[in-house]
């Protein structure tokens, strides 16, 4: 079985379909690199590549003239489909984000879903190290002794491949044994429905903790008489990131919401505001793609605890 690592960059952080580069790296069973390419794609939208994009402060290391002269996603689709639906074990770092952008581009150009299964090198590395928080690709590269150019799609894909190689060499396990050892469910993209790749052992534990936290939140709401000193949040229904629901400060946030006329729900489908911290924590990753889909459909607005506090002051 050969391995294929991929990484996707978007040119406009507000338009997730605006794919501008796809890094592809293919290796054999011993992780010898057989092929590597950075596929450039014209995003067909306004963009900025020098790190001054309003919501993504990164440099994509791409030449605008070369990018504008490249084929758009529609003309690159068959090539990408051939790679990702080929006979490979697909791997990526925080791969669900790349899958989400790929799906957005397919929908934007009215193209069929590219169906494939995948594993996440970031998840496997975290489980191997026993960490609770996810690590950025640059930190993993430093830890395994790899130099690369961050946010260059080909280099990012290569580091994902080398992370997998490092784990196999360090543990003496095959990739299949690693997945089995950490009870990792392989992810899948099928007809635009994404099944995340997660550790089932971790997932069961987290679900139990979150469920207990939510029960305590609902019990707190039902037994407290809130002052309702303001109606500034009237009509706003808030869902909270899991990390916030589990935080010691959560009841203070509930007080702010209910004292100002708002409501809490544990269900994303019932909220119109989603509260998260500025930096996504590992326990929140599962909801992020669903939240972004709701944001793109104009059904949900993202805020954070600081903005929420400022709104009622």
* pTM above threshold 0.85: no
61 pLDDT band, cuts 50/70/90, is confident
Q: What is the pLDDT of residues 124-163, one digit of tens each?
A: 999 999 887 788 899 999 999 999 888 899 999 999 999 9
- CATH number of this structure's domain 203-312: 3.40.50.10190
Return the domain boundaries, the chain.
2-196, 203-312
CA–CA distances in Å: residue 165 to residues 31, 116, 121, 159, 220? 6, 21, 10, 10, 49
What is the rounded CA–CA span in Å between residue 132 and residue 116?
28
CB neighbourhood size of 57 (10 A): 9
Conformation bin of residue 55: beta by default, left when phi > 0, alpha when psi is -120 to 50: alpha
Q: What is the pLDDT of residues 218-231, one digit of tens each?
A: 999 998 888 888 89
What is the rounded CA–CA span in Å between residue 51 and residue 59?
4
How far is C-alpha 279 from the geometric centre of its chain's CA atoms? Answer: 12
Q: What is the pLDDT of residues 12-34, one digit of tens each?
A: 877 889 999 999 999 999 999 99
Architecture (CATH level 2) of domain 2-196: 2-Layer Sandwich (3.30)
313 pLDDT band, cuts 50/70/90, is confident
What is the rounded CA–CA span in Å between residue 305 and residue 288?
17
pLDDT, mean of residues 207-212: 80
């Amino acid at each position: 079985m050969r391995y294929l690592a991929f990484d996707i960059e978007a040119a406009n952080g507000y338009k997730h379909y605006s794919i501008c580069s796809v890094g592809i790296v293919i290796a054999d069973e011993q992780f010898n690199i057989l092929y590597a390419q950075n596929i450039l794609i014209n995003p067909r939208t306004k963009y900025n590549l020098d790190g001054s994009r309003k919501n993504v402060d990164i440099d994509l290391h791409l030449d605008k003239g070369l990018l504008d002269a490249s084929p758009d996603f529609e003309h690159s689709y068959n090539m990408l489909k051939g790679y990702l639906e080929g006979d490979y074990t697909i791997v990526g770092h925080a791969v669900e984000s790349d899958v989400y952008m790929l799906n957005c581009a397919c929908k934007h150009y009215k193209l069929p879903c590219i169906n494939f299964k995948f594993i996440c090198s970031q998840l496997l590395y975290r489980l191997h190290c026993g960490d609770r928080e996810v690590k950025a690709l640059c930190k993993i590269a430093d830890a395994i002794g790899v130099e690369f150019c961050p946010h260059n799609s080909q280099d990012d894909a290569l580091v994902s491949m080398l992370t997998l190689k490092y784990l196999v060499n360090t543990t003496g396990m095959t990739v299949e044994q690693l997945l089995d050892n950490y009870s990792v469910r392989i992810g899948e993209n099928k007809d635009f429905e994404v099944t995340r790749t997660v550790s089932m052992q971790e997932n069961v534990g987290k679900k139990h903790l979150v469920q207990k936290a939510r029960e305590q939140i609902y019990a707190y709401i039902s037994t407290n008489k809130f002052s309702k000193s303001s109606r500034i949040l009237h009509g706003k229904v808030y869902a909270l990131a899991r990390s916030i629901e589990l935080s010691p400060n959560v009841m203070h946030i509930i007080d702010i919401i209910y004292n100002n006329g708002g409501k809490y729900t544990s269900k994303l489908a019932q909220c119109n505001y989603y509260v998260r911290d500025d930096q996504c924590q590992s326990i929140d990753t599962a909801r992020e793609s669903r939240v972004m889909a709701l944001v793109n459909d104009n059904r949900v607005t993202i805020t954070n605890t600081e903005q929420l506090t400022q709104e009622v002051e």
